[in-house]
Chain A
Amino acid sequence: MQRFAATCRIRIGRILLCCSVVLCLAGCATPWRYEPPQVLPDDRQDIPEPEPRGTTLGQDTFEYAVKIPTRRFFDLARHIRSLSGNRIQALNVDAFDDVQDSSWFTHRNDKHRMSLEEISRGPNVSGGPETEGPWKIDSAKVEGFTPGFNIIDARGDKYVIKFDPWGFRELGSAAEVISTLLFHAAGFNVPENYIVIFNPEILKMDDACLLVDEKGIICEMTANDFDKIMQKVEPLPDGRVRAVASKFLKGEKILGGFRYLGTRDDDPNDIVPHEHRRELRGLYVMCAWLKHLDIKDSNSLDVYIDEDGRRYIKHYLIDFGSTLGSTVEGPMLPFRGHETEFDTPRAFSNLFTLGLNVREWEKAPDIIYPSIGRYSTWGYDPGKTAMNFTNPAFSFRTDLDGYWGAKLVMSFTDDQLAVVVRQGQYSDPNAEFHLLEVLKARRDMTGRYWFGRVNCLDRFTLSELAEGSYELRFEDLGVEYNLWTKKQTRYRYDFRINDQFIKEGVVLSDQTAIHIDKLENFLQESPRVKRRLGPNDQWEVSLEISRDYGQNWGRWVKVYFRKDPSTGHFTLMGVKRKG
């Protein structure tokens, strides 16, 4: 036995020795070089007509509530990555950790600040349905909490008409329109949504009008059914009714909702798994801000469109009625945003603590404005807002995705938010003011959270001052958006060439530019660098931020630049951020 143990010890020792040797050799490899990610092809290329996805709402719910959480649980690689802190970063980002315009996303307010007129118009280009009527009812539904119609207006445009829940006038309609405008300005594809106030008499029943009754059964609608539906709609004092009109998306073919996992097999443009798309991961931040928690396939839509002669799939987010403290049945329930629908970990936690740990949401205050619902800063945690169901793209998100999403959120100015909230057409100015203040406060909480988790120095520019000397400029988004003061902020940078330190720990205060001297001067200062210089030199500036007057330093961002052989000038290669 002793002999066996001794033999084992010797063998283990030898194995460890081998490992050390190999690892030492690996450490002596060439210096690490920054490789910018390859540019993805434009995903708006002509593709053959795809088939619609035939999943139902129940399958969707089953997938998100049961299948995906189980699969995630058994995903050992994901656990290893989480434990080792090396989560998969988004796969469709460019060298500057951003996404290019695609069939999913178009940079709008974050790149070029939209005018108040642009932002208040949003995607609404057709002007909405003719409220003079007549509106021909195409189909109707009375199932669920709120009734609704599909109508064709006098211009021949088709709309979904959705009403507010009884007793909560303006709740759903205002939320739908406001969120639509904000998601559109952020860059996502959304349908046209309008608030309409109309006389119910303009609604005309079609001969072959179909109805989904209270039990979900499709039948032919009768005048009696129509009356029943209208009885569920709370009228305004003047007898008219308020609703939201959502215009049907136009396209060659409606393909059903997109999945937040994997790719579409019949879409050759769709090459990046959706769970690793930056737009979808970063969407979490927007959703948390606006309390858009019902994020699943059925609240999205793929449309095969013909645009500029190219036919491809465009991906839309739809149905924003359950946002900003609203749901179809009334104000959002207090647990929403704090726990998922079937929150197994939370249930286990409650089980073992015997329920003595009272959850924050259980102490939620009552709603103040019925037209706003449960939307406040109370209990809002930008990084821990729970969606109704586990969303695979959201669960893969990293701090970099959060930072990207937070940039979208922070791009909204107070004026822009004010003009957007006005589109909700609240009858109570106090409610409107309350919503605006909450939106602003939650926006700042979002920014403070995500900008505090990564280095938020951004918008780097490199300009040549004189021949051979450059200036690297950057913007501190935390200071720009007034989340931190300039006074409390310090920057520190290291400068390297080919992974070798040239300057180390240089502290900048009150300036957001780094002067990079002539190369010859560096060589005089650091002669050891000389022998390594060549045509492919890679320069690197690593920047850190301190928000407490230089006491503690946060995560770094590295900026890479190199000489462009064609022009002979240095250009930015890309940015790498610790996240």
Chain B
Amino acid sequence: MGGKSRLIPLKSLIAAFLMLAILIPLPLLARTDQAISSSKGSQEKSEPDTTQERQKPYPKKVPPRAAWEYLVNIPGYILYFPFWLIYTAATPIIGWVETNNVMPRVKDFLESDDGRRVAYPTGETQYGIGVIYKHRDLFKPGCLLTATGMVGFNWRRMLQFEVERYRIGGPFSLGLGAQYIMLTDANFYGIGNDSLKQDRHQFAHRQPAAWLGGGLDLGAKLTMLATLRVEANSISAGRGSRYESITVLPPEYLQQLPGLYDKTDFFISKFELRHDSLNRLSQRPGGWLIFLNASLYNQLNGDGYNFYKAQLDITHFQHLFYSRSFVVRAAAEITRPFKDGEVPFYYWSKLGARRTIRGYSRGRFRDRDSILFSIEYRYPLLKRPGHIPSLQAALFMDSGKVSPDLFAEPFWKHYHTSFGGGFRIFNQKGLNLQILIARSRDGWRFYLVLNE
């Protein structure tokens, strides 16, 4: 120890110099600035309009920062590099798009001159991405034609064509439509509230449908609708590669699933009462959205499946202050067979997915009846009226359950709950992008919805 101990060994001296090399510039920043300014060109002002002046070298450019700043910034440069790459690539593309009027041309292509015909992209987790085409004031003022085409993973697809609000005189209107749905990877976890996450199986559900309806306006906010609908259903093996198909389940179990091996065609009579007092475009969103409907399902190609469904869905938007609002929702559905019929399992009430309990996958719980409660707090992050996109955040909690008979068991038991939050980007031109994330007993789920 004694032989080694010099007061200031060489290593310490080098370390001290290195430290000071880093530390000294900090208190001397002001002087560094002076150094920057002293490097400014020092050409004397003189009569410039002479040949000598023109031949004189121009002053050197002043560096925008001191040398130490370039050194300190090296980690910053490294982190910024990926962004720089993206921006460098994006800038000429933006320029090209603008100089070639790509956006106006696309708009011109997607929207008619009078604004009545418009096409826009859409997307959601169930059917994937697609296009919606709308033709307003078709045939008559107020009449709306909508055509939607969507496609998603595992070749899930949905095609829909609908004409609504064709006025036939007074408060009466007609509507008709056709739809083709092919869900190649619908989920089946079992029956009831106790179904397990690991029992996930998949099946493919094909459903072409067509309908004709009539509407009666009972006031500005209240509408009554009556619809006659024909549907054909067929179930086959699921296409999802991650989970087993429902068809591999034990036969004794499958026998409990009505409708699995049968092609069922239905004639459906549906009556609906709709109240909509929602103030959508206002900075003070508020109002009620109520749906009450009853549907009668009669099998066309047999007599084994006859049932009815009744649904009540109440949503209240309560404006709190300065565009902060609560959204409270309660919904219930009951499904009952009649004439000794049965209910195909895919028509049972189901919970899961974005419109029911977020955080659970679609069809996570199935049974005859279901009940659902939801509360959501929405608040603005960037409030931008007009055409500029606004950004809104939401926190929500969903809770619900399925039951073979809602009225036969205690109301407060067996609820499944999830919570989460998300963002919504929207403007008054129609943009509406939602990004949600929800947490449930099954884990996290992510939802992306565009112009639904």
Contacts and interface: CB of A to CB of B under 8 A. Distances in A.
A358 interface: yes
Nearest to A355: B379
Contacts of A341: 384, 388
Given A46-B48, A350-B393, A56 B95 contact: yes
Contact of B72 (A18, A77, A268): A77
Given A59-B98, A335-B384, A347 B391 contact: yes
Interface string B4-39: 000111011101110110011010011001101110
A91 B386 contact: no
A358 B322 CA distance: 7
Contacts of A17: 8
B48 A80 contact: no
A139 B321 CA distance: 48
Contact of A42 (B33, B45, B75, B381): B45
Contact of B98 (A40, A56, A88, A354): A56
B112 to A, nearest CB: 11
Contacts of A28: none
B34 A37 contact: yes
B42 A41 contact: yes
A404 to B, nearest CB: 16
B252 interface: no
Contacts of A59: 91, 94-95, 98
A362 B322 contact: yes
B91 to A, nearest CB: 6
Interface stretch (B58-66, B149-157, B214-222, B351-359): B58-66
Contacts of B382: 339, 342-343, 346-347, 350
B302 interface: no
Nearest to B393: A351
| Residue from B20, B97, B323 having most chain A Cβ neighbours under 10 A | B20
Contacts of B70: 77
A354 B377 contact: yes
Interface stretch (B102-110, B269-277, B335-343, B404-412): B102-110
A15 B98 contact: no
A223 interface: no
B253 interface: no
A41 B95 contact: no
Interface in B356-396: 377, 379-386, 388, 391, 393, 395
A363 interface: yes
A215 B20 CA distance: 61
Contacts of B87: 62, 66-67, 70
Interface in B399-427: none
A19 interface: yes
A329 B387 CA distance: 11
Given A216-B103, A350-B381, A14 B9 contact: yes
Contact of A58 (B44, B59, B83, B95): B95
Contact of B42 (A39, A47, A308): A39
Contacts of B198: none
B391 A76 contact: no
A89 interface: yes
B54 interface: yes
A67 B69 CA distance: 20
A350 B390 CA distance: 13
Contacts of B59: 40-41, 268, 271
B19 A347 contact: no
A294 B79 CA distance: 30
A76 B78 CA distance: 11
Given A35-B34, A41-B44, A271-B40, A217 B58 contact: no
Given A217-B108, A351-B381, A75 B73 contact: yes
Interface stretch (A272-280, A428-436, A469-477): A272-280
A309 interface: yes
Interface of A is mostly: loop
A354 B381 CA distance: 9
Interface in A251-279: 262-263, 268-273, 275-276
A310 B48 contact: yes
B40 A262 contact: no
B276 to A, nearest CB: 26
Nearest to B45: A42
Contact of A347 (B20, B381, B388): B381
A77 B43 contact: no
Contacts of B26: 80, 84, 86
Interface residues of A, number: 79
A55 interface: yes
Nearest to A263: B61
Nearest to A334: B385
A539 to B, nearest CB: 20
Nearest to A70: B83
A334 to B, nearest CB: 8
Given A58-B95, A276-B62, A19 B101 contact: no
A47 B90 CA distance: 33
Contacts of A42: 45, 48
Interface in B41-61: 41-45, 48-49, 53-54, 58-61
Contacts of A88: 33, 36, 65
| Residue from B38, B44, B383 having most chain A Cβ neighbours under 10 A | B383
A444 B428 CA distance: 38
A57 interface: yes
Given A89-B33, A269-B58, A272-B62, A56 B103 contact: no
B397 to A, nearest CB: 14
B430 interface: no
Contacts of A333: 384-386, 388
A91 B62 contact: yes
Interface string A380-424: 000000000000000000000000000000000000000000000
Interface in B150-204: none
Nearest to A353: B379
A81 B33 CA distance: 11
A335 B91 contact: no
Contacts of A67: 87, 91
A486 B34 CA distance: 36
A310 B95 contact: no
Contacts of B73: 74-77
A217 B108 CA distance: 9
B64 A57 contact: no
A312 to B, nearest CB: 9
Given A14-B9, A262-B64, A74 B105 contact: no
A22 interface: yes
B99 interface: yes
Interface of A: 11, 14-15, 17-19, 22-23, 26, 35, 37-42, 44-47, 54-59, 62-63, 66-67, 70-71, 74-77, 80-81, 84, 86, 88-89, 91-92, 143, 215-218, 262-263, 268-273, 275-276, 308-310, 329, 333, 335, 339, 341-343, 346-347, 350-351, 354-356, 358, 362-363
16 contacts: A15-B15, A37-B40, A46-B48, A55-B95, A56-B95, A57-B98, A58-B94, A74-B83, A86-B29, A215-B104, A215-B107, A268-B58, A271-B59, A347-B391, A355-B380, A356-B379
Given A80-B26, A86-B33, 10 more contacts: A18-B12, A39-B45, A41-B43, A76-B73, A216-B104, A217-B101, A271-B60, A272-B40, A341-B388, A358-B322
The 7 closest A-B pairs by CB, nearest first: A355-B379, A18-B16, A268-B58, A77-B69, A86-B29, A215-B104, A216-B104
